[in-house]
Amino acid sequence: MKENKISFESIDEYILKFPADIQETLKMLRKVIRESAPDAEEKISYQMPTFVLNGNLVHFAAFKNHIGFYPTPSGINEFKHELSEYKGAKGSIQFPIEKPLPYELISKIVKFRVAENIKKASGKLKKKKASVE
């Protein structure tokens, strides 16, 4: 049997599949992430909009009742107090669709993830140099 799975080529294509009000929320979320991680690249990963900088930074996705935001477990841990009012799991947060997204908090989380990935990448580079010498 052939599966009818939708496959997205770009974040624009992903956003366009939603009703206008959700599109606006997703566009604003994308803008906040881009401003917080200007050097990150956009791609679709796991059929979700994804931002990458020295590895995955964050993913997001729209669902019937919430916007899912996926900043890895470390991103959740670092901001667990500020995120306590939201439903979530080890590496995800669910922002209710009927409430405005906490863009300032999202920006802080993305900036934290950028710094974390840069630090990890420089650590790997140092290890690589040490093993070459």
Q: Are 62 and 69 in contact (CB under 8 A)?
A: no
Looking at the predicted structure, is the pLDDT value of residue 14 above 80?
Answer: yes
Q: Region 9-37: what's the mean pLDDT?
A: 97
Between 133 and 123, the more confident residue is 123
Which residues on neighbouring strands pair with residue 52, listed in sequence order? 41, 56
Residue 38 contacts by C-beta under 8 Å, 6 or more apart in sequence? none
Q: Which pLDDT value is given to residue 1?
A: 40
Q: Are 113 and 76 in contact (CB under 8 A)?
A: no
Query: What are the tens digits of pLDDT across the range 71-128?
Result: 999 999 999 999 999 999 889 999 999 999 999 999 999 999 999 999 998 876 555 5
Q: Which pLDDT value is given to residue 127?
A: 56
> What domains are there in the chain, each with its CATH number?
11-132 (3.90.1150.200)
Q: Which pLDDT value is given to residue 42?
A: 97
Between 31 and 89, the more confident residue is 31
Which 3-state string (H, E, C) describes 28-77?
HHHHHHHHHCCCCEEEEECCEEEEECCCEEEEEEECCCEEEEECHHHHHH
Q: Are 113 and 58 in contact (CB under 8 A)?
A: yes
3-7 CB contacts, 8 Å cutoff, 24+ apart: 5/47, 6/47, 7/47
Q: Region 51-72: what's the mean pLDDT?
A: 96
Percentage of the chain with pLDDT > 70? 89
User: What is the overall mean pLDDT for the chain?
Assistant: 90
Which 3-state string (H, E, C) describes 98-117?
CCCCCHHHHHHHHHHHHHHH
Looking at the predicted structure, is the pLDDT value of residue 6 above 80?
Answer: no
Q: Are 11 and 47 in contact (CB under 8 A)?
A: no
Q: Are 52 and 41 in contact (CB under 8 A)?
A: yes
